């Protein structure tokens, strides 16, 4: 078992200020239970009517697609291409967002009766992210007249210049941050453009593609009532992408995910249904299931093979083929996990040499580029600092970065761009390309940038609890009430609680050399099982076994053989009685 020394034993805990009078009003006016009401009051909600709207918001909150910049131009150009029988190519990214977005547009084209449409996804390892000039040349040789990007293209200036030279028009649909100039596209549909009139900007790439599907249906003269059932059937895909891409689960995103989750178990999409069956989620799909179960399986195609198979899964109308691909993705996901585990072990070794760096940059030959984003997240959990992992491949190093709140990864890379061959992404995640000879210069520049921000940007991040839980409140009814506040994700995290003075019934048990299992006795005499995932490295703090502890984390509902019991996921603990 590896025991990293970069992680401090505990992080600061912060319990949000409590507003009991507002909580009581939410109980009376919104029908919430006491714990859920305390959570929303602690998060700053004050108006019961606004909270009722939040709890019930539906698809009527979706803004007009034409409020997005260049959407009208994109729909008009596509309409003209369809009428002229031009060869259209959907060019999507290789992750969940890109593959689902490609599927949305391909299914829309099929619904509209378009014949001359194909799709492309770059190979993550051999081609890398985004549209490249070489891909444009290949598509031009194949007779493509119009390229529509999904979840990429905003910064693909060389590729779009090549397209113009080759006589190919490009419609860019994307949600990544813009650089200093707009690309030479016939339309750039990106909610982050300054001139965007949309009320909600933080859409994933698939959602932007869905907005194009809405606009195209209207531009093609389809009656709104005729189009509605088809467009609604696409929201399963958009919901999966919204959760998997970790955009804010507020506003339009919340409405999309609420609707999608309520329909996923009976999805009309054969591929999604096959994936749900293979993953054994027939009982229902939650946002957590998307993030931890469905998303990784869709992503597995692009990480270890080619993402085109995921697009095929999400567009096939053959049940047998859907089942075959779902099983193949299950196999690829197991392979991905084995590769990931090996790289995590090696990255932990590298981490020891950089334990004092405010930004962690690790590089090694032989790492699989397809899983470095996941591994970067694992190392970030241990180091609690922004992390970038690079795979060195002969004359180039490529990789992924993950960040912490308060440190804008995209802005940091922009500040250090003189040491990079390329980069792109978001404040919390990015892709990076660097010459091996410049890795050390890049590391020094990132460290200097981090230090220039001051200690607040990278100081210890407190674990935030919404409120304390009394032992009697730790029950199935409380969890059912908290579920009404969902879906949870970025911008609207799952509620977190503190439990005080729990008696430890036995020495914590190590599971799979990685996790800790606790058995507590609550003050009311009931037992409580709790899991601390990937915290076995802290077992030494608990030997000899303490008598009492405070814990912070989330209660979970465990269902087994028809019985439902409450368990707890422990994020951190404090010994109160040795």
Quote the CA–CA distance of 191 and 197 in Å, as a whole number: 8
Over residues 251-304, the pLDDT tens digits come to 999 999 999 999 998 899 999 999 999 999 977 899 999 998 999 999 999 888
Domain positions in the chain: 13-29+463-577, 63-331, 355-458
If you write DSSP's letter for every residue of 407-429 in order, what string do you get?
A: --HHHHHHHTGGG-SEEEE-SSE
If you write DSSP's letter for every residue of 325-392 in order, what string do you get?
A: HHHHHHHHHHHHHHHHHHHHHHHHHHHGGGTT-SSEEEEEET--GGGHHHHHHHHHHHH-S-EEEEEE
Residues 6+ apart with CB under 8 A from 197: 67, 68, 69
Tokens in use for 578? 């040795």
Burial (CB < 10 A; 0-12, 13-18, 19+), residue 453, is middle
Quote the CA–CA distance of 231 and 112 in Å, as a whole number: 12
> In CATH, which of 3.40.1010.10, 3.10.310.30, 3.40.50.300, 3.20.20.140 is domain 355-458?
3.10.310.30
Quote the CA–CA distance of 202 and 425 in Å, as a whole number: 13
Over residues 71-108, the pLDDT tens digits come to 999 999 999 999 999 999 999 999 999 999 999 999 99
Q: Which stretches in the chain have pLDDT values below 50?
A: 1-9
CATH for 13-29+463-577 is 2.40.50.460
> In CATH, which of 3.30.360.10, 3.40.50.2300, 3.30.70.890, 3.90.1640.30 is domain 63-331?
3.90.1640.30
pLDDT at 169: 98
Terminal CA-CA length for the chain: 25
H or E, element range at 225: helix 224-233
């Amino acid at each position: 078992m590896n025991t990293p020394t970069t992680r401090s034993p505990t992080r600061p805990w912060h319990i949000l200020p409590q507003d009991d009078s507002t909580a009581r009003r939410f109980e009376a006016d919104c029908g919430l239970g006491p714990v859920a009401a305390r959570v929303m009051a602690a998060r700053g909600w004050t108006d019961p009517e606004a909270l009722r709207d939040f709890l019930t918001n539906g698809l009527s909150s979706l803004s007009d697609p034409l409020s997005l910049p260049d959407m009208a131009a994109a729909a008009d150009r596509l309409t003209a291409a369809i009428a002229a029988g031009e060869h259209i190519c959907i060019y999507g990214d290789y992750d969940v967002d890109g593959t689902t977005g490609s599927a949305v547009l391909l299914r829309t084209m099929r619904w509209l009766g378009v014949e001359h449409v194909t799709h492309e996804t770059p190979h993550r390892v051999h081609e890398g992210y985004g549209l490249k000039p070489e891909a444009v040349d290949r598509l031009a040789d194949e007779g493509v007249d119009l390229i529509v990007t999904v979840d990429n293209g905003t910064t693909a200036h060389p590729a779009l210049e090549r397209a113009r030279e080759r006589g190919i028009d490009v419609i860019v649909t994307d949600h990544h941050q813009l650089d200093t100039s707009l690309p030479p596209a016939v339309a750039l549909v990106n909610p982050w453009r300054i001139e965007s009139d949309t009320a909600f900007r933080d859409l994933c790439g698939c959602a932007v593609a869905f907005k194009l599907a809405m606009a195209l249906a209207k531009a093609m003269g389809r009656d709104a009532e005729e189009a509605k059932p088809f467009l609604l059937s696409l929201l399963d895909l958009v919901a999966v992408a919204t959760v998997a891409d970790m955009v804010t689960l507020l506003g339009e995103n919340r409405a999309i995910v609420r609707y999608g989750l309520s329909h996923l178990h009976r999805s009309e999409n054969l591929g999604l249904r096959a994936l749900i069956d293979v993953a054994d989620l027939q009982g229902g799909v939650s946002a957590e299931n998307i993030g931890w179960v469905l998303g990784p399986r869709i992503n597995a195609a692009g990480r270890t093979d080619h993402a085109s198979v995921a697009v095929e899964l999400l567009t096939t109308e053959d049940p047998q083929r859907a089942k075959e691909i779902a099983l193949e993705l299950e196999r690829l996901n197991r392979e991905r996990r084995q590769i990931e585990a090996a790289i995590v072990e090696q990255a932990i070794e590298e981490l020891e040499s950089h334990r004092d760096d405010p930004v962690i940059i690790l590089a090694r030959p032989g790492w699989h580029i397809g899983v470095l984003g996941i591994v970067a997240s694992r190392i970030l959990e241990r180091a609690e600092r922004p992390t970038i992992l690079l795979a060195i491949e002969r004359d180039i190093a490529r990789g992924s970065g993950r960040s912490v709140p308060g440190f804008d990864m995209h802005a940091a890379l922009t500040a250090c761009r003189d040491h990079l061959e390329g980069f792109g992404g978001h404040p919390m995640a990015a892709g990076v390309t660097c010459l091996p000879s410049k890795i050390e210069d890049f590391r020094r520049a990132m460290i200097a940038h981090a230090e220039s921000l001051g200690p607040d940007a990278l100081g210890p991040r407190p674990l935030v609890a919404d409120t304390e839980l009394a032992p009697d409140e730790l029950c199935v009814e409380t969890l059912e009430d908290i579920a009404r506040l969902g879906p949870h994700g970025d911008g609207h995290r799952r509620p977190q609680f503190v439990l005080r003075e729990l008696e430890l019934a036995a020495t914590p048990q190590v599971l799979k050399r990685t996790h800790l299992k606790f058995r507590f006795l609550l003050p009311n005499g009931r037992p409580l099982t709790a899991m601390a995932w990937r915290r076995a490295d802290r077992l030494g703090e608990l030997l000899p076994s303490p008598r009492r502890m405070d814990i912070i984390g989330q209660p979970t509902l465990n269902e087994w053989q028809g019985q439902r019991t409450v368990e707890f996921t422990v994020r951190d603990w404090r010994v109160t009685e040795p």
